[in-house]
Structure 1
Amino acid sequence: MFSDLSMGALGLSADLPTAIDLAAKHGFGGVDPDLGYLKQLGSDAAVTEFAAGVGDRGLRWGMAGLPINLTAPAGEFAAALAELPAALSILTAAGIDRVGTWIRPMHDDLSYRRNWVLHVSRLTLVSQLLADAGIRIGLEYIGPKTFWSTERFPFLHSLSEARELIAETGASNIGLILDSYHWYTAGESADDLAGLTDADIVSADINDARDDRERDQQQDLDRRLPGSTGVIDLDGFMSALRAASYTGPVKIEPFMKSLASQPVDEVLADAASRLTSAIGG
């Protein structure tokens, strides 16, 4: 596995070339791509040339966002699906082989079963196009009860449910985005991660939780930097990733507004150090 810089996940803003420079400067192993920026380069050949420069800096691509909303209204989803091949052409030209999205863990109108059927059918369509392009898709389940309990029908919000959904699609290129925060708030342990392999995991995020809240009181957008409070068993989480022989990106996604007010180089030096420590075990 390798340390990955996602400026957005840290609450910081920068265009892709700047993010690449910062990732190289602070010793990250990779950087998350920005499909919007790559589109602006104008051609697949220009994208390939740009991506070669990323490799020359000693960096790998992390995970791009899935450019389609799985729960969009039918017409909007159909239109996005029709545009997906063009986006996949750009990702392929850049050598990006993984995209991801999160599963919204509740719905005001769709019951659990109806929402499940919707996700299976749409993921089946999307994953087929991605497979043809040689791209994997990661799904992130969202653990905090303070989030999934806010609408009429709770939906998938645990590792076991996510794995069941993936299995039902029958697609071999769908895997998990594992986030230590969601793993903790879902009440899971290292035992729940046992048996996973590299093929099951597309990306990983590490965070910590506030130490003045119980597990079911934790808020999705109010986290802490990994290893800062010790609430989350980061050693157990990372040991499970190593046991899975995971080879993909690991990034920090704390949603701490205070980071944006600090010097960027200080934030990134700290993040890189925490990632190196966690990955090194």
Structure 2
Amino acid sequence: MYKVLNSKGLGVGGRQNELIELALTHGFKGVEIDMNDLVGRHDALGKEFACQFLQSAKMDIGSFDLPINFGGTDAEFVASCEKLETIMDLAATLNAKRCRVRIEPNSEATPFQENFERHRERIEDIGAKFEEHGIRLGLYLQASSAVEADGNYKFIQTAEEILTLVKAIGHANVGLSLDTWEWVVGGGAMDQISDMDLAILTEVILSDVGADATPGSYTAADRVLPCTGGDPFSLKLCQFLKEKGYDGALSMGTEAHMYAGAPNRHDVAGKLSTMLDKLADGEDPTYVEEPEVEEGEEGEGAEGADGADGEKAAEETKDGAAKDAAADGSKEEATPAKA
């Protein structure tokens, strides 16, 4: 597994070269890019300018969102593919290996089955085009964005449904972009992952569901860092992936609220890097080992404390005995006088 800096929601947004600097400083092997921004740079100032920082840094591209409307009308789909050749050229130039296809959980106008076939055909076609450049497509579940069917149609809203779509497409270049938060929100479980061929995974994005989350009413605030919520699904997944030898991309599923109080973006990036290192090793990223106490220190400290307490107790005993003796003596002297 190798670490990718996913800048979404970090509160550390900045120019492309600043994000690259963060990734390099804190030991990330890859960084995600904003493809829309990159295409804009390309159109304004040319490919060389658009790619220069990423190429000079020799940094891998973790992933990028593919800005294509797979669920739109034919006209909308064709319009969203207008920059497809530019996107593929930029991705190939930067040696990008994967992109992310976000599947909308609802449709305003298209029934489920018709929409399913529309996605299957279009994604298979685009997947074949990207395969020529060695770039895989990962389907991304957006279960947390699902809404009740009120004047619209339900689409892919569960882990089982996203897997069904991947299998229906049946193209080796099309897999699953696994976000653990969305997976759990969408009813996904570990057994579904343990039963699948891990070659299907294009990337793994980690975060857990908060302990106070209400099923069916999830919000962005319920997405928390691994092992800081209820069920530590991300940790269990990483332990399984480590055991199975998964060597793909690993990033954090971020939201700005996760880093409230962090002094600056370097602190945030450093924290993410450390947590990802531990998770990749199958360790709880929130566990802090108690500092080791050298032999003799604890005993000396205790002995010193005991000694001080002992001296104090001895003094109190001595004083008490003296008082008792004085009292006894006074009584003994008074008795003969009375006799």
Could you state the TM-score of these two structures normalised by the residue count of structure 1? Answer: 0.87
Distance 1:150 1:24 in 2: 45
> Cα distance 1:149–1:238, how it changes in 2: closer, same or farther (>3 A)?
farther
In structure 1, the residue matched to 2:98 is 98
Cα shift readout 1:253-279 (whole Å, capped 9, x = no counterpart): 232336376421222121112111111
Matching of residues 71-220 of structure 1 within 5 Å:
71-144=71-144, 147-149=146-148, 151=150, 152-220=152-220
Unaligned runs of 5+ in 2: 283-339
Once the two structures are overlaid, the 10-residue window that deviates more, 222-231 or 132-141, is 222-231
Distance 1:44 1:244 in 2: 39
In structure 2, the residue matched to 1:272 is 273
Aligned partner of residue 162 in structure 1, secondary structure: helix
Distance 1:80 1:195 in 2: 35
Distance 2:166 2:268 in 1: 35
Cα shift readout 1:18-48 (whole Å, capped 9, x = no counterpart): 1110011122222112334544254555666
Once the two structures are overlaid, the 10-residue window that deviates more, 32-41 or 228-237, is 32-41
Q: Which residue of the other structure, out of 15, 38, 56, is the alignment partner of 1:53? A: 56
Q: Quote how far apart the aligned CAs of 1:134 are.
A: 1.7
Aligned partner of residue 76 in structure 1, secondary structure: helix
Matching of residues 25-36 of structure 1 within 5 Å:
25-36=25-36
Q: Quote how far apart the aligned CAs of 1:138 are.
A: 0.6
In structure 2, the residue matched to 1:65 is 65
Structure showing greater Rg:
2
Distance 1:17 1:223 in 2: 28
Distance 1:111 1:221 in 2: 31
Paired amino acid for 2:5: L
CA contact (8 A) 1:85 1:129 kept: no
Aligned partner of residue 246 in structure 1, secondary structure: coil
Q: Quote how far apart the aligned CAs of 1:198 are.
A: 4.1
In structure 2, the residue matched to 1:231 is 231
Q: Quote how far apart the aligned CAs of 1:167 are.
A: 2.1
CA contact (8 A) 2:213 2:222 kept: no
In structure 1, the residue matched to 2:256 is 256
Distance 1:72 1:232 in 2: 37
Distance 1:43 1:260 in 2: 38
Q: Quote how far apart the aligned CAs of 1:96 are.
A: 0.7
Q: Quote how far apart the aligned CAs of 1:148 are.
A: 4.0
> Cα distance 1:214–1:258, how it changes in 2: closer, same or farther (>3 A)?
closer
Paired amino acid for 2:265: V
Unaligned runs of 5+ in 1: none
Paired amino acid for 1:74: D
Distance 1:159 1:259 in 2: 28
CA contact (8 A) 1:26 1:269 kept: yes
Paired amino acid for 2:156: L
Q: Quote how far apart the aligned CAs of 1:87 are.
A: 1.4
> Cα distance 1:226–1:130, how it changes in 2: closer, same or farther (>3 A)?
same
Alignment RMSD (CA, Å): 2.4
Distance 1:35 1:220 in 2: 24
CA contact (8 A) 1:224 1:256 kept: no
CA contact (8 A) 2:212 2:222 kept: no
Cα shift readout 1:168-225 (whole Å, capped 9, x = no counterpart): 2232101101111122112322111013344201111111222112333322564111
Once the two structures are overlaid, the 10-residue window that deviates more, 175-184 or 11-20, is 11-20
Q: Quote how far apart the aligned CAs of 1:113 are.
A: 0.8
> Cα distance 1:150–1:122, how it changes in 2: closer, same or farther (>3 A)?
same
CA contact (8 A) 1:238 1:278 kept: yes
CA contact (8 A) 1:45 1:93 kept: no
CA contact (8 A) 1:44 1:89 kept: no
Relative contact order (alpha carbons < 8 A, sep ≥ 6): 1 or 2 greater?
A: 1
CA contact (8 A) 1:185 1:215 kept: yes
Q: Quote how far apart the aligned CAs of 1:250 are.
A: 1.4
CA contact (8 A) 1:222 1:255 kept: no
